[in-house]
Structure 1
Amino acid sequence: MKLTIYHTNDIHSHLHEYARIDAYMKEHRPQLTHPSLYLDIGDHVDLSLPVTEATAGLKNVELLNDAQCDLATIGNNEGMTISHEALNHLYDDANFPVTCANVFDEEGNLPRNIVSSHIQTVEDVNILFVAATAPFTPFYRALDWVVTDPLEAIKDEIAAHKGQYDLLVVMSHVGIFFDEQLCQELPEIDLILGSHTHHYFEYGEEQNGVLMAAAGKYGHFLGEVTLDIEDKQVVGKSAILHPLDTLPEVETDFIQEGQRLMDTPVLDHPMYLPRTTNRISKTAYMLAESLQEFTHTEGSIINAGLIVTDINKDRVTEYDIHQMLPHPINAVRVRLKGDTLKAIIDKSQKQEYLNEHAQGLGFRGDIFGGYVLYNIGYIESEGRYFIGDREVDDEETYSLGTVDMYTFGRYFPMLKGEAIEYIMPEFLRDIFKMKLTEVAEDVE
C-alpha cells in the first residue's frame, strides 16, 4: 500500500496563501489512486489577522474543515493567544479530530475536543498519531493550563498504546532540535511532522532511520510525504515540498471580511494618533502609560515600533485599533532590584534597535523603533536614575511593566531569571483600547 500524507504547519492565519494550498489539494487528492491524509501541525490560528481575531479562530477551523483536514494539533498560538474558554470551544465544529498529549487544565483534563493521541486505520494498517506542543509554562499557567514535558508525554502515549498500532507518526509543535532528539531517543518512529521553529526540508531529512518533514511557515509550502507500506511496515518513505508559487491562484476576501466583522466603534469622534518609530509620539507615550496603569507598576518600557499604523479618523473602530496593534503580545509585571533596573535603563538609552527590522516573539510590525519609558527618568550628567518619585537604589525592589517579548532574552537578557508575572489573555490592543475609552470619557 502507498499512503500520501499532506501536511501544513505555522500558517499563522496567512489565509490567502492557505486558500491556494487548499485549492491544490482539492485538485490533486481526488486524482490519487491510493489513500491520502491531510494533517495540520499547529499555529494555523494567529490573531494578527482581523478575521481570526473577530472569530477567535473559528474561521480557521472552518477553513480546515473545507480543506478536508483529517487530523490537527495545536501550536502555541492556539494554546496561548486565545482565552482558556476560547480554546475549549475552538474545535466545537471541527470535522476532524485534534490531538495533543501535553496540555491539561488544573483538574488534569485535556482541553475540550482534544484527545491525547489518535489511531487512524488506513485499509488494514493502524497508524498511531501522537502530538505535543512547546512547553511555554508561564504563559499556559497564566491561562489556567498545565503544560507538561513533551518528550515524556509522547513516550507515555506510545507506551499506553503498545500493541495497538502498526505505524507511528509524531506531530511535533516543539521545534527542530526537539525533533532531532526524538530521532535519537525513539528510533521506532516512522515519521515526524515538525513545526514551531519554521524550518523546512525540501526532501525531508532522515536521522537514525526516522524521516523528518516540515513545511516552513506562512503557507510558503505544502508538504507531501509518501509512505510505502508492506505487511503493515514502512518499506520506503520520501518527502517533497510544493512551493507556494507553484500552487493555483485564487481570489479571497479575508481582509474585507475581517474589516466588516470588526467595524464596531471604539470612539465616535475624531481622533488623531500619529505613528513614529524614531522619536516619542503621543501614541507611543499613551501606550506606555496604559501599560503602566494596567500592570499596576511604578514605571513601564515599550518600543515605538509596536505602533504599526497611525489613526486619523472621524470614527475609530475595533479594526483600526487592531491594525495599529496587531501583535499577540501580552503585558508582564516584573519585580527587580535597582541595579537590574539601572541596567535596563542604560541599555534602553543606547537605542540599538532604533531602525532594525524585527520579527518573531509575537511582534507583527516592521521597524522595532526606539524605546519609550514612562514614569522612569535618567540624569546622565549625574548618573542618577528615577522611577516614579523614587531615586533608584541598587538594593531596593521595584515593579516594572513591559511586554512579554522582552522576557525571552534577546532585548533585555538581564530579565531572565527575574520575578515575571505574565498578565493574560489581554493583548496590547485591549489595554490601549481601555485607555482610549477612558480618555474619551474624561473629555466628555
Structure 2
Amino acid sequence: METIRIMHTNDLHSHFENFPKIKRYIEDARAHHTEQEFYLFDIGDAMDRAHPLTEATDGRANIDWLNSLNYDAATVGNNEGLGNSHEVLEHLYDDANFPVILGNLYEEKTHQLAEFAKPYLIIKTKKDTKIGILGFTAPFILTYPLVDWDIRLIQEMLPKWLGELQKQECDVIVLLSHLGVSMDRMLASKYPEIDVIIGSHTHHLFEKGEMDNGVLLAAAGKYGYYIGTINLTLDDNKKVVDKHTDTQKTADLPELAGDKEWIQHQLDTGNRLLSSKKIANIPNDLSSDFHNENAVIQTGLDAIMDYTQADAGVLSSGLFLKGLSAGVVTEKDLHDMLPHAIHAMKTTMRGADIWWMIMEMEKNRPYLRSHQQKGMGFRGKIFGELVYRGITIDEKRNVYINDEKLQMDKEYTLALLDHYLFVPYFPAIEIMGKNEILYPKFLRNVFGDYLKKKYPM
C-alpha cells in the first residue's frame, strides 16, 4: 500500500490577510503528515492587482510568498494571464522555485508553448509510482490574442497531453484546472482515466469533494478562505483504491502574534512603492461626485476619448471609488481610485444600433444607479450612474452625437469599457458592435497617461 497527501490552494487573489494562517497550516501539515508522500499545488489566480503590493511589484511579491512554501507545481489563472502584459507574464515566474504546468498557452508568433511553462510534470514517488500532473487555464479566446498569446481550447490540448502521460505509463493523473466547475464536471464525464481534478476559477467550494464518473473533484473556494487536502491510497499494483478530500476553513485557524503586523506590512510596502511613483500635478480637486463641476468622471471621459479618438463615450460613476486632490498625483492615488481589472474599448456601430444601445442604457439606468456589481474585473461596490460624453437624448427619444441628430446608417465610434461588453445589461454592444478591446493597459493606466500629458510634473 502507498498513501499520498496533496494539499492545494486556489484563487488566492492577493488576499494577504489570510496568508499567515495558510502558511502555518501547510507547514505544520508537511512537518507532521503520516502519509508516505506529500505534495502542494496552486491552481491559479494567486495574484490580483487590486492589492497594492501586487500592483507595485507586478505580482513578484506573490511569487515570493509561493516560493516560501515550496510548492511542487502551480498553474496559471486569468489574473496572471490577462492581468499582465505579455512581457510581464513572460518573466513573472523567473524566480519561481516551482514548475508552472500549463498546456494551453502558446506564443502567438512562434506557436511554441509559453517559455515559462511545462505541458505536464511527472513526479516519481519513493515507491516508483508515477504521478502525472496536467495544468490548463480558462481559454479566453477573445482576450488572450490582445496580449499576443495563442490560447488553445481544452478539447484540443487535453487529449494531446493526457496521451503523453499515458504513453509514459503514469499510475496516477491529477489535473490542475483553472477552468471552472462546469468544465471540470464535463471533463470528468469524458476522461475517467483522470484520478483527481483540482478545480478553481469559478470560486466553487467542495468541502468534502465531489465524485463524478469515478473522478474526484476538489476545490477550495476563493481568497484563501479554505485550504484543500486530498488523500490517495494505492494498492501494491499502484492502483488508486481510495481517494477523498477535505477542506480547512482558514477563519477557524488560530491567529498568532505578529499576523496583523505582517499583513499591514504588505499593504504599507505596496502603498509606499506606489506612492513613490509620481504621475502628474493637477491644478484643482477632482470630485468623485459626478454632479460636481470638476467631477473626476469627466476627466476619465477626457482620457478615454483621447485614448480611443472616438466620436462619443460612456463611463459609469461607480468605477471611481474616490476623487483626486489638487497637487501631485501618484500611482497609489490612481490605484486607490481605479483598482479594477478593466480596459478601455473602442466600439464601432451604426447609428441605428447606437440608438438601441442608448435605449438599453436608459432603461437600465434606474436599476444600475444603486446596483451592487460583482465580477467581470469590477472592484467597486455599485455600478453607478451612466455618464455620456457627446451623447444627448431629447424627450422624443431622438439621440444626438455631438449635437447632430444620429444618422441611422452612418458608422460612429464610441469610447466604452470591456466591462460593458461582458455584463448582461447592454446586449447591443456584443451583438452589433465591432469591439476593439485595448490591452494591456487598465483604465487607471489610460487615466494616468492622460494626466501625465495634460498636467506634467
Shorter-chain TM band: over 0.9
Match of 2:295 in 1: 282
Could you say what the CA RMSD is over the residues aligned between the two structures, in angstroms? 1.7
Match of 1:218 in 2: 223
Distance change (3 Å), C-alpha of 1:51 and 1:121 = same
Deviations 1:225-277 (A, max 9, x none): 11111221111111111112122422321110101111222234664222137
Matched AA of 1:122 = T
Q: 2:441 aligns to what SS in structure 1? A: strand
Describe how 1:284-433 pairs up with structure 2 within 5 A: 284-312=297-325, 314-350=327-363, 351=365, 352-379=367-394, 381-388=395-402, 390-417=404-431, 418-433=433-448
Aligned pair 1:153/2:157, yes or no?
yes
Match of 1:255 in 2: 267
Matched AA of 1:360 = G
Aligned pair 1:204/2:212, yes or no?
no
Q: 1:344 aligns to what SS in structure 2? A: helix
Q: Give the one of 61, 75, 78 matched to 2:77.
A: 75
Q: 2:94 aligns to what SS in structure 1? A: coil
Describe how 1:146-185 pairs up with structure 2 within 5 A: 146-164=150-168, 165-185=170-190
TM-score (norm 2): 0.93
Q: 1:59 aligns to what SS in structure 2? A: helix
Q: 1:224 aligns to what SS in structure 2? A: strand
Deviations 1:284-322 (A, max 9, x none): 111122112211211111110100122336432111111
TM-score (norm 1): 0.95
Q: 1:312 aligns to what SS in structure 2? A: coil
Q: Distance in 1 between matches of 2:424 and 2:303?
A: 24
Q: Distance in 2 between matches of 1:222 and 1:270?
A: 49
Deviations 1:49-94 (A, max 9, x none): 1111111111111010012111000011111110101111010000
Check conservation: 2:376, 2:423, Cα contact below 8 A.
Answer: no
Describe how 1:55-66 pairs up with structure 2 within 5 A: 55-66=57-68
Deviations 1:19-45 (A, max 9, x none): 321121112220112221111000111
Deviations 1:162-209 (A, max 9, x none): 231111111111111101100111011100001111111110000110
Q: 2:175 aligns to what SS in structure 1? A: strand
Which deviates more, 107-116 or 78-87? Answer: 107-116
Runs of 4+ in structure 1 deviating by more than 6 angstroms, as ranges, are 277-281
Aligned pair 1:240/2:253, yes or no?
no
Q: Distance in 1 between matches of 2:319 and 2:20?
A: 29
Check conservation: 1:198, 1:216, Cα contact below 8 A.
Answer: yes
Which deviates more, 71-80 or 290-299? Answer: 290-299
Match of 1:113 in 2: 116
Q: Distance in 1 between matches of 2:43 and 2:294?
A: 40
Q: Distance in 2 between matches of 1:156 and 1:79?
A: 22
Check conservation: 1:50, 1:322, Cα contact below 8 A.
Answer: yes
Deviations 1:118-145 (A, max 9, x none): 1111221111111111111121101000
Q: Distance in 2 between matches of 1:274 and 1:108?
A: 47
Q: Distance in 2 between matches of 1:61 and 1:48?
A: 16
Which deviates more, 399-408 or 202-211? Answer: 399-408
Q: Distance in 2 between matches of 1:277 and 1:364?
A: 19
Aligned pair 1:21/2:34, yes or no?
no
Matched AA of 2:64 = E
Match of 1:42 in 2: 44
Deviations 1:314-356 (A, max 9, x none): 4321111111000011111111222221122122223121111
Match of 2:4 in 1: 3
Q: Distance in 2 between matches of 1:185 and 1:26?
A: 36
Q: 1:192 aligns to what SS in structure 2? A: strand
Matched AA of 1:78 = E
Match of 1:130 in 2: 134
Aligned pair 1:193/2:206, yes or no?
no
Matched AA of 2:428 = M
Q: 1:273 aligns to what SS in structure 2? A: coil
Displacement of 1:280 in angstroms is: 8.6
Distance change (3 Å), C-alpha of 1:152 and 1:278 = farther
Check conservation: 1:213, 1:223, Cα contact below 8 A.
Answer: yes
Which deviates more, 56-65 or 397-406? Answer: 397-406
Matched AA of 1:290 = A
Check conservation: 1:278, 1:355, Cα contact below 8 A.
Answer: no
Matched AA of 1:323 = D
Matched AA of 2:84 = I
Match of 1:32 in 2: 33
Q: Distance in 2 between matches of 1:15 and 1:281?
A: 36
User: Is there any run of 5+ residues in structure 1 with no aligned partner, and where?
Assistant: none
Aligned pair 1:440/2:455, yes or no?
yes
**Percent identical residues:** 35
Q: Distance in 2 between matches of 1:162 and 1:92?
A: 30
Matched AA of 2:61 = K
User: Is there any run of 5+ residues in structure 2 with no aligned partner, and where?
Assistant: none
Q: Distance in 1 between matches of 2:391 and 2:76?
A: 40
Q: Distance in 2 between matches of 1:269 and 1:415?
A: 34
Check conservation: 1:87, 1:111, Cα contact below 8 A.
Answer: no
